[in-house]
């Protein structure tokens, strides 16, 4: 993406949650290549996040490393405040942090597991977005949420709760788009399909992964970098200024709603 230039992203400030690896890391690096200042959030993978920061700074942009657990009640707000106060403003929030937690059939779960999945994938989006609202209201901005193909198809084996939490993300994307349009804040989401990331290395058995891959018309999983263009498109008022409340599918044709 380094040869691509989207002029209206230069000089803006973005916070990307879950930016140490995978899609979040690729998006954070791409925003830096566009000349944006980027707050790179991590929870457990500090060393990986530091590499992302170094990549952004190598591209000539400013980066800020911010740690914290988005699954806690106060974590998202603290992360947003640290990032916004460091740069003095916030033009965009990309709610990307999330995880399967573990594959577990609903019948084998309990309240503790249920809350863990929803706190990480759903409640964190509400809390971070709410904390970002006063900053975004100052000049207008964007919120881009990462949902999933599972929000539409119910998820694979043992991932029903994860899929339900992502369905929440898709729905709140549409609702916040209507609530916040008067503040000149656009809210959209990206729904990746099967993307080759640590998410699947850690949580998807090889046989299940191959079965999912075989259902993709393009014949393969996607890469984090192949998701980046959609995030940049939604982040740019010049490219998507009349788009809000949308969920854009990036899945190689695996799902054609």
CATH number of the domain at 128, please: 3.40.50.720
Buried residues in 228-255 as b, exposed as e (16+ CB within 10 A): bebbbbbbbbeebeeebeebbbbbbebe
Tokens 């393009």 label which residue?
Answer: 218
Three-class SS state of 220: coil
Residues annotated catalytic, as ranges? 162
What's the pLDDT score for residue 209?
Answer: 85
Residues in the chain: 257
Q: DSSP E strands: which ranges in 122-192?
A: 141-146, 185-192
**HSE, side-chain direction, 13 A CA sphere, residue 115:** 5
pLDDT at position 21, please?
96
Q: Which domain holds residue 117?
A: 7-250
Is 255 within a domain? no
E strand spans, 74-138 = 92-95
Give the integer Cα–Cα distance in Å for 211 and 216.
9
Helices (H), 15-143: 22-33, 46-58, 75-87, 111-118, 124-137
Q: How confident is the prediction along the chain (257 residues), in pLDDT tens digits per residue? A: 668 899 999 999 999 999 999 999 999 999 999 999 999 999 999 999 999 999 999 999 999 999 999 999 999 999 999 999 999 999 999 999 999 999 999 999 999 999 999 999 999 999 999 999 999 999 999 999 999 999 999 998 899 999 999 999 999 999 999 999 999 999 999 999 999 987 776 767 888 888 889 999 999 999 999 999 999 999 999 999 999 999 999 999 999 98
* Planar angle of CA 232, 167, 28, nearest 5 degrees: 25
Tell whether 256 is covered by a domain: no
pTM of the model: 0.95
**Residue 2 is assigned to a structural domain of this protein:** no
Give the count of domains, the chain.
1
């Amino acid at each position: 993406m380094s040869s691509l230039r989207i002029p209206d992203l230069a000089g803006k400030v973005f916070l990307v949650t879950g930016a140490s690896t995978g899609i979040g890391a690729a998006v954070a690096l791409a925003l830096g290549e566009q000349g944006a200042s980027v707050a790179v959030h991590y929870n457990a993978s500090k060393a990986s996040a530091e590499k992302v920061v170094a990549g952004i700074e190598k591209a000539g942009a400013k980066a800020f490393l911010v740690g914290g657990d988005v699954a806690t009640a106060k974590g998202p707000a603290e992360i947003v405040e640290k990032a916004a106060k460091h740069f003095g403003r916030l033009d965009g929030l990309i709610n990307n942090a999330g995880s399967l937690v573990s594959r577990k059939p609903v019948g084998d779960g309990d309240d503790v597991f249920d809350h863990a999945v929803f706190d990480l994938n759903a409640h964190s989006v509400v809390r971070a977005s709410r904390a970002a609202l006063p900053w975004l209201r100052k000049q207008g901005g964007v919120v881009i949420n990462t949902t999933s193909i599972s929000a539409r198809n119910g998820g694979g084996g043992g991932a029903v709760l994860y899929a339900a939490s992502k369905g929440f993300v898709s729905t709140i994307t549409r609702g916040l788009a209507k609530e916040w349009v008067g503040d000149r804040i656009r809210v959209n989401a990206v729904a990746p399909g099967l993307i080759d990331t640590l998410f699947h290395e850690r949580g998807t058995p090889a046989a299940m992964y191959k079965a999912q891959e075989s259902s993709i018309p393009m014949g393969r999983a996607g890469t984090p970098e192949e998701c980046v263009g959609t995030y940049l498109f939604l982040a740019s008022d010049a490219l998507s200024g009349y788009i809000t409340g949308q969920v854009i599918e990036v899945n190689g044709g695996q799902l054609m709603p």
